[in-house]
Amino acid sequence: MENATRVLDASALLAYLNDEAGADVVEEALLRGSAISAVNLAEVLSKLAEVGEDPQDVTANLRGRGLLGGNLVVSPLGEQDAVVIARLHRGTRAHGLSLGDRACLGLALRLKVPALTADRAWLRLKVAVKIEPIR
């Protein structure tokens, strides 16, 4: 995962997949190599399942496009990640960050790369991660 230049939040990958505002920013990050936590990928697949898409079909499509297993590395979470995510809770609680949001930030901290998100509220966070809004 040394080649990841950005960590994607679920909102960023969804913007790309749905061709929403900011999709071009995410596409550039994907071309350069990005990572996403397994938690955030599960969130993306869950959101797409809500609108009738099959998670297996979505992942197959992403593999076929060279994203999963290619330019987008899915990072599992381990024990140390769980500690970091829990520590982020106190400082981000007032901003309404979810477990998935904190998983994204925790992965960005571990990889020492910026986090891409569509959630502009993240810009008010006081964390040791560079936040890059996609719109």
Which architecture, in CATH terms, is 6-133? 3-Layer(aba) Sandwich (3.40)
Cα four-point dihedral sign 17, 94, 75, 39 = negative
For 33-43, how does the pLDDT look when each residue is reduced to its tens digit (9 = 90+)? 999 999 999 99
82: three-class secondary structure by DSSP? helix
For 115-135, how does the pLDDT look when each residue is reduced to its tens digit (9 = 90+)? 999 998 899 998 999 999 999
Give the tokens for residue 33. Answer: 């190599």
DSSP state of 128: S
| Whole-number pLDDT of residue 94 | 81
| Whole-number pLDDT of residue 1 | 52
Give the tokens for residue 92. Answer: 């981000």
Q: In the structure, what pLDDT confidence band is assigned to residue 62 with cuts at 50, 70 and 90? A: very high
For 1-56, how does the pLDDT look when each residue is reduced to its tens digit (9 = 90+)? 558 999 999 999 999 999 999 999 999 999 999 999 999 999 999 999 999 999 99
